[in-house]
């Protein structure tokens, strides 16, 4: 299955600044997703990263706050802009490999634990 390298693993940031999270996959993938998770809780989908086009955002998430890039089939970035303490969370990248139907499961990165002070 695909192996995901997500960086940074954690960061502490000042409010008002921005952080870019990188997701690098060792093989080409069809779908890439960005999730947010409070520790010990379930996942909330932020957006689907589309290769070569604008990301598709879920309700409550906007491009100005969470710009996403996906320049190719193996890489994506999520930027958390103009951060506030409410953005403190775990951010996760997940993918569906080219050789797998999404219905059969996703592969996740190890996450980025963000604390905004």
103 in contact with other proteins (CB under 8 A)? yes
CA 30 – CA 57 distance, rounded (Å): 17
Per-residue binding letters, 4-23, with other proteins (x by CB under 8 A): x-x--x--------------
Site for other proteins in 27-86 (CB under 8 A): 31, 39-43, 45, 48
CB of 114 to other proteins, least distance (A): 13
- What Cα–Cα distance (Å) separates residue 49 from each residue in 6, 33, 54, 74, 116? 15, 6, 7, 11, 24
Out of 76, 77, 89, 94, the only residue in the binding site for other proteins (CB under 8 A) is 94
Positive or negative CA dihedral for 93, 97, 98, 100? negative
Residue whose tokens read 């060792």 = 26
Residue count, binding to other proteins (CB under 8 A)? 26
CA 104 – CA 102 distance, rounded (Å): 5
CB of 16 to other proteins, least distance (A): 27
Question: Interface with other proteins by CB under 8 A: which residues?
Answer: 4, 6, 9, 31, 39-43, 45, 48, 92, 94, 96, 101-111, 113
């Amino acid at each position: 299955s695909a192996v995901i390298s997500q960086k940074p693993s954690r960061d502490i940031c000042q409010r008002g600044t921005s952080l870019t999270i990188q997701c690098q996959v060792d093989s080409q993938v069809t779908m890439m997703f960005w999730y947010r998770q409070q520790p010990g809780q379930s996942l909330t989908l932020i957006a689907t990263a589309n290769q070569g086009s604008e990301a598709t955002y879920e309700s409550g998430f906007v491009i100005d706050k969470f710009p996403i890039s996906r320049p190719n089939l193996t890489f994506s970035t999520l930027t958390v802009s103009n951060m506030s303490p409410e953005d403190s969370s775990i951010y996760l990248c997940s993918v569906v490999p080219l050789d797998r139907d999404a219905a059969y499961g996703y592969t996740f990165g190890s996450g980025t634990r963000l604390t905004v002070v």
